Amino acid sequence: MKIETAIFAAMISFSAMAGTGAVDDSSSAFAKVQTVGLDEAKWTRGFWADRFELCRTQMLPNMGRLMEGTNYSQFYRNFEIAAGVREGKSRGATFNDGDFYKLMEAASAAYAVTRDDYFGRNLDRAISVIAQAQETNGYIDTWVQLHQRAGETSAAPFSDPNNFEMYNLGHLMTAACMHYRATGKTNFLAIARKAADFLGEEFKNPTPELARNAVCPSHYMGIVELYRATHEARYLELAEKLLAMRDLVKDGGDDNQDRIPFEQQGEAEGHAVRANYLYAGAADLFLETGDTNLWNPLAKIWTNVVAQKMYITGGCGALYDGASPDGAKDQKHITRVHQAYGRNYQLPNTTAYSETCANIGNALWNWRMFLATGEAKFMDVVELGFYNSVLSGVGLDGTNFFYTNPLRVTDPMPAELRWSRQRVPFVSSFCCPPNLVRTVAESADYAYGKSADAIWVNLYGGSTLETKLADGEVIKLTQETEYPWNGRVRIKIEACGSKAFALKLRIPGWAAGASVRVNDKPADFSPQPESYFEVRRTWKSGDFVDLDLPMPARLMEANPLVEEDLNQVAIQRGPVVYCLESPDLPRGMKMSDVQIPSDMKLTACYDRRLLDGVVVLEGQALTWPEGDWSGKLYREFKPQELKPANLRFIPYSVWQNRGPSEMSVWLPRVGI
């Protein structure tokens, strides 16, 4: 018996370590690219290594203290009370369980890379409490459980979609799969299986009322991942059933993407986190089933998002509040939406919602679309979000967070808005901070992929990769670069087998004029933007590839149908979007005085003392004092003399790290 147990444990350990990422598509029939193992890609030096280190030393421990404590709300404490190891009452938002699971996912990802027992110990402690909190039938949701125990007759499983049970359970499953892969242990996975089995029973014969329970649907991703971890077909069937169940909803609305059946959808509508989680979950199901009824709407919605609804920062969700389908002829179908995608080309800057979770959801969705196709255009969106509207969500201290990510902030603001214009340690809706922690903890996971005889280099950053190709050959490589500050990348083969394989290098859509050299000799072909450039050969240890992605600072303009950006320009260099922030304005100048000459020359220079080290862009703009607008909405236009002013622009993601400020990504252009 002991020997059998040991062998079983060894098998679990082996399968857990064998080539699996946060998304394990190693057995997915419709994946073109497989993820690499959680501990196979590691940041070593540079931008992402610094972010990961901040995550390990600040973001994770600080978030652990906050969620274990009770200063702001209750997260871990709710589990302790539900488990019966502490006295007390439920406190906090209905989705706090899910946000605690995200922290556990992040700690598991960090453990996979660092093997730091600090994470392992804390995870085991939490898992044992969660196991005690779980009902014998598999149900677990501390908000519902504790309110039920307090005698509230209205609190019952799946009686109110706004209890976010599916969201909570989805994150439980994703975190448990991550923990299983990181540690080889099944203690958390067992809880997730029980919970999924509960869902299987509860939703055996779904009614239209039950079908409404898909708010912020992280559970499609979670259950598909559970299927991948266990290879039990009933979990895949459950995920399919729960996605199909959406169509039972009667009188649904765009806010929850259930006004019309999923198959008929072609535009991104409604709450942007809910939408992007739904799209990511549907893409996960497609990776397993190849169902074109999932792919067709996803492809249409994707085109709608990138061509009509996404901010230049990769941000999603233009509106605080609105109506959808706004302006429709058939007015009875118009419903209220919040934190939502707007109309096509409706992309306000000051009142942009662009919730960090929606922007992370956009990356999760595009990552899965990339895995299904191997197409660079999806990875470009992942990268755009990461460097801009995702990382803007966390301060350089790793402990203060934005919930919304506007592209312009003025003082005064044109309207009072719900959320702070400054990063804060806590907001009542605490979904984004742990989402950021897990994203940074897992960032190396996105850097590489593999297929039968190819290694895919998706993100650039100082890193190492050690993985196996399908034939069992071990490939070791290192990547050295100062990306995103500089577009030169060197990839060196440290070890490989004797068979030929391809190195596939992502050439971003903005990278015109890219070049590749292999062992100092120019490649036979020129790389094309928005593609993967393949270098296929029989490699030997010590071979190296140099990629040069030219990164001039570029003035960008928006489609003229975007009213809010009309006659304005933004600045982008490589994948990084820049902004003007008030601490960089010359004395006496206001943000609204600034005009950008169409032929402005921008010089990039690295400032290691500023904002933890960033490339700033410097150039001569023009100013035109706005004068006195007090009490006026309109006035007669009077031309004034434009005066030159030297300005400095900083990466958008690091704005508001120098105290309260004004900021704008888009600025008016003048001249040619």
Q: Nearer to Zn ion by C-beta: 46 or 434?
A: 434
**In which residue are the tokens 């007015």 written?**
331
- Give the torsion through C-alpha atoms of 394, 354, 573, 421, to 10 deg: -50
In whole angstroms, give the CA distance from residue 462 to residue 485.
12
Query: Which residue type occupies 337?
Result: V
Q: Nearer to Zn ion by C-beta: 401 or 649?
A: 401
In whole angstroms, give the CA distance from residue 569 to residue 253.
36
Closest approach, Cβ 339 to Zn ion, in A, equals 9
Q: Nearer to Zn ion by C-beta: 34 or 339?
A: 339
Contacting range for Zn ion; rule: CB under 5 A; set: 195-203, 356-364, 386-394, 576-584: 356-364
**CB neighbours of residue 4 within 10 Å:** 8
Q: Nearer to Zn ion by C-beta: 253 or 393?
A: 393
Closest CA to 64 of 141, 23, 116, 21: 116
Closest approach, Cβ 315 to Zn ion, in A, equals 12
And the tokens for 220?
């499609």
Phi/psi for 442 (5° steps) reads -100, 5
Rounded to 5 degrees, what angle do the CA atoms 352, 353, 359 make? Answer: 110
Q: How many CA atoms lie within 13 A of 39 on its CB side?
A: 17
Closest approach, Cβ 321 to Zn ion, in A, equals 16
Distances from the Cα of 324 to the Cαs of 162, 268, 328, 450, 553, in angstroms? 20, 11, 8, 41, 37
Q: Nearer to Zn ion by C-beta: 72 or 118?
A: 72
Closest approach, Cβ 171 to Zn ion, in A, equals 12
Q: Nearer to Zn ion by C-beta: 390 or 535?
A: 390
Closest CA to 529 of 364, 334, 376, 671: 376
Taking CB under 5 A as the rule, does residue 394 contact Zn ion?
no
Q: Nearer to Zn ion by C-beta: 312 or 357?
A: 357
Closest approach, Cβ 362 to Zn ion, in A, equals 12
Q: Nearer to Zn ion by C-beta: 439 or 572?
A: 439
Distances from the Cα of 513 to the Cαs of 383, 409, 536, 548, in angstroms? 19, 35, 21, 9
Sequence length of the chain is 672
Contacting range for Zn ion; rule: CB under 5 A; set: 260-268, 357-365, 460-468, 610-618: 357-365
Closest approach, Cβ 617 to Zn ion, in A, equals 30
Closest residue to bound Zn ion by CB: 357
Phi/psi for 589 (5° steps) reads -95, 140
Contacting range for Zn ion; rule: CB under 5 A; set: 76-84, 354-362, 377-385, 539-547: 354-362
Q: Which of 177, 196, 243, 357 binds Zn ion (CB under 5 A)?
A: 357
In whole angstroms, give the CA distance from residue 667 to residue 624.
13
Residues facing residue 605 across a β-bridge:
616
Q: Nearer to Zn ion by C-beta: 165 or 355?
A: 355
Q: Considering only CA atoms, give the Rg of the chain.
A: 25
Closest approach, Cβ 313 to Zn ion, in A, equals 16
Closest approach, Cβ 431 to Zn ion, in A, equals 3
Closest approach, Cβ 429 to Zn ion, in A, equals 6
Residues 398-457 binding Zn ion (CB under 5 A) are 431-432
Q: Nearer to Zn ion by C-beta: 167 or 539?
A: 167
Is the Cα torsion angle 497, 499, 500, 503 positive or negative in sign?
A: negative
**In which residue are the tokens 């009452």 written?**
89
And the tokens for 268?
């991104």
Closest approach, Cβ 187 to Zn ion, in A, equals 28
Rounded to 5 degrees, what angle do the CA atoms 105, 107, 111 make? Answer: 115
State the first-to-last Cα distance of the chain, in angstroms, to the nearest integer.
82
Q: Nearer to Zn ion by C-beta: 440 or 596?
A: 440
Closest approach, Cβ 357 to Zn ion, in A, equals 3
Closest approach, Cβ 350 to Zn ion, in A, equals 20
Q: Nearer to Zn ion by C-beta: 223 or 357?
A: 357
Do the strands 544-548 and 531-537 form a parallel or antiparallel pair, or are they unpaired? unpaired
Q: Nearer to Zn ion by C-beta: 79 or 277?
A: 277
Contacting range for Zn ion; rule: CB under 5 A; set: 352-360, 490-498, 501-509, 649-657: 352-360
Closest CA to 219 of 245, 253, 243, 190: 243
Closest approach, Cβ 364 to Zn ion, in A, equals 13
Count interface residues toward Zn ion (CB under 5 A): 3
Q: Is the peptide bond before 161 cis (omega within 30 degrees of 0)?
A: no
Q: With 0-12 CB in 10 A as exposed, 13-18 as middle and 19+ as buried, what is 611?
A: middle
Contacting range for Zn ion; rule: CB under 5 A; set: 67-75, 134-142, 349-357, 526-534: 349-357
And the tokens for 608?
């290691």
What is the binding site for Zn ion (CB under 5 A)? 357, 431-432
